[in-house]
Amino acid sequence: MKIRAAFLGLCLAASAAWADPQRAAQLRDQALTDNTAWQVLESLTTEVGPRPAGSPAAARARDWGVAKLTALGFSNVHVEPFAKRAWLRDAEAGEIIAPFPRKLALLGLGNSVPTGPDGVTAQVVVFASLAELKAAPASCCAGKIVLVNQPMTRTQGIDGYFTAVAARSAAPVASAHGAVAYLVRSISTSTARAPHAGAMQPWKAGERAIPAAALGVPDADLIAHMAMRSPVTVHLALQSHVADTTAWTVSGEMPGSDPKAGTIVIGGHLDSWDPGTGAIDDASGIAITVAAAKLVGATPHRRTIRVVMWGSEETDGSGPAYLAAHRNELDSIFIAGESDLGADMVYGLQLPVGAWNAPDIAPLESVLAPLKVMARPMPPEEAGSDVEEIQGAGVPVFALSQDASHYFDYHHSQDDTLAIIDPERLRQNVAAWAATLSILADTNADFRKVKK
Amino acid sequence: MKIRAAFLGLCLAASAAWADPQRAAQLRDQALTDNTAWQVLESLTTEVGPRPAGSPAAARARDWGVAKLTALGFSNVHVEPFAKRAWLRDAEAGEIIAPFPRKLALLGLGNSVPTGPDGVTAQVVVFASLAELKAAPASCCAGKIVLVNQPMTRTQGIDGYFTAVAARSAAPVASAHGAVAYLVRSISTSTARAPHAGAMQPWKAGERAIPAAALGVPDADLIAHMAMRSPVTVHLALQSHVADTTAWTVSGEMPGSDPKAGTIVIGGHLDSWDPGTGAIDDASGIAITVAAAKLVGATPHRRTIRVVMWGSEETDGSGPAYLAAHRNELDSIFIAGESDLGADMVYGLQLPVGAWNAPDIAPLESVLAPLKVMARPMPPEEAGSDVEEIQGAGVPVFALSQDASHYFDYHHSQDDTLAIIDPERLRQNVAAWAATLSILADTNADFRKVKK
Using CB atoms, pick whichever of A45, A276, A419 lies closest to residue B217: A419
All residues at 6 or more sequence positions from A31 whose CB lies less than 8 Å from its CB, including other chains:
A291, A292, A295, A427, A430, A431, A433, A434, A435
- The verdict on a CB contact (< 8 Å) between B417 and A194 is no
ipTM: 0.92
> What residue of A is the nearest CA neighbor of B414?
A193
Helices (H), A228-318: 284-297
What pLDDT, on a 0 to 100 scale, did the predictor assign at position B6? 37
The reported pLDDT for the residue numbered B380 is 65
| N residues, chain A | 452
* Percent of chain A surpassing pLDDT 90: 90
* CB neighbour class for B392 (10 Å; exposed up to 12, middle 13-18, buried from 19): exposed
Instruction: State how far residue A273 is from chain B, nearest Cα, in angstroms.
Output: 14
Q: CA of B242: how far to CAs of A74, B62, B115, in Å?
A: 59, 21, 14
**Using CA atoms, how far apart are residues A262 and A11, in angstroms rounded to an integer?**
26
Q: Which of B218, B95, B196 is nearest to B145 (CA)?
A: B95
Q: Is A406 helix (H, G, I), strand (E, B) or coil?
A: coil
Residue A154 CB-density burial (10 A; 0-12 exposed, 13-18 middle, 19+ buried):
middle
End-to-end CA distance of chain A: 35
In the stretch 289-308 of chain A, residues with CB closer than 8 A to chain B read none
C-alpha–C-alpha distance, residues B363 and A111, integer Å: 65
Report the C-alpha gap between A203 and B258 in whole angstroms.
72
Give me the residues paired with residue A269 across strands.
A310
Per residue of chain B (452 residues), give pLDDT as tens.
Answer: 333 333 333 334 444 448 999 999 999 999 999 999 999 999 999 999 999 999 999 999 999 999 999 999 999 999 999 999 999 999 999 999 999 999 999 999 999 999 999 999 999 999 999 999 999 999 999 999 999 999 999 999 999 999 999 999 999 999 999 999 999 999 999 999 999 999 999 999 999 999 999 999 999 999 999 999 999 999 999 999 999 999 999 999 999 999 999 999 999 999 999 999 999 999 999 999 999 999 999 999 999 999 999 999 998 788 999 999 999 999 999 999 999 999 999 999 999 988 999 999 999 999 999 999 999 876 666 788 999 999 999 999 999 999 999 999 999 999 999 999 999 999 999 999 999 999 999 999 998 886 44
CA angle A301, A307, A313 (to 5 degrees): 155
| CB of A285 closer than 8 Å to CB of A268 | yes
H or E element: which one contains A124? strand A120-127
Of A369, A366, A341, A298, nearest in space to A34 by CA:
A298
Q: What is the pLDDT of residue A317?
A: 82
pLDDT tens digits along B147-201: 999 999 999 999 999 999 999 999 999 999 999 999 999 999 999 999 999 999 9
Angle formed by the axes of helices B21-31 and B284-297, nearest 10°:
130
- Residue B135: is it exposed, middle or buried by C-beta count within 10 angstroms (0-12/13-18/19+)? exposed
For the beta carbon of residue A3, count every other beta carbon within 10 angstroms. Answer: 7
Tell me the CA distances in angstroms from A201 to A198, A423, A443, one per residue in order.
Answer: 10, 35, 40
Q: Which tens digits make up the pLDDT trace of A308-324?
A: 999 999 987 889 999 99
Measured between alpha carbons, how far is residue B29 from residues A367, B319, B432 in Å? 54, 33, 10
Nearby residues of A1 by Cβ (< 8 Å), 6 or more positions away: none
C-alpha to C-alpha distance for A92 and A108, rounded to whole angstroms? 7
Q: Which of B60, B191, B344 to mutate to probe the A interface, most A CBs <10 Å? A: B191
Of all residues in chain B, the one with the smallest CA distance to A217 is: B419
User: CA dihedral in degrees (A121, A122, A124, A130; nearest 10)?
Assistant: -90
Q: Is A126 on the interface with B (CB under 8 A)?
A: no
Rounded distance between C-alpha atoms, residue B309 and residue B289, angstroms: 10
End-to-end CA gap in chain B: 34
At position A151, the amino acid (one-letter code) is: P
Does B191 touch chain A if contact means CB atoms closer than 8 Å? yes
Neighbouring C-beta atoms of residue A421, cutoff 10 Å: 24
| DSSP H or E segment with residue A235 | strand A233-254
Q: Which of residues 249-288 of A touch B (CB under 8 A)?
A: 276-277
Pairing mode, strands A333-338 and A263-269? parallel
Residue B421 with chain A: CB contacts under 8 Å: none
Residues in contact with B273: Cβ distance below 8 Å, sequence separation at least 6, in sequence order: B50, B52, B197, B198, B281, B314, B412, B416
To the nearest whole angstrom, how far is the Cα of B58 from the nearest Cα of chain A?
14
Which residues of chain A does B276 touch, with a Cβ-Cβ cutoff of 8 Å? 193, 218
Distance separating alpha carbons of residues B194 and A229, to the nearest angstrom = 30
- For the whole model, what pTM was predicted? 0.93
DSSP structure class, residue B283: I
Please answer yes or no on whether A418 and B225 come within 8 Å at the CB atom.
Answer: yes
| pLDDT beneath 70: ranges in chain A | 1-17, 378-381, 450-452
Question: What is the predicted pLDDT for the residue at A383?
Answer: 84
Radius of gyration of chain B (CA): 24
| A56 touches B: beta carbon within 8 Å | no
The radius of gyration of chain A's CA atoms, rounded to the nearest angstrom, is 24
Residue A140 CA to its chain's centroid (Å): 36
Chain A nearest-CA distance from B238, in A, is: 20
- The 8-class DSSP code of residue A115 comes to -
- pLDDT the model gives residue B254: 98
Distance from C-alpha of B394 to C-alpha of B386, rounded to nearest angstrom: 14
d(Cα A132, Cα A111) in Å, to the nearest integer?
A: 24
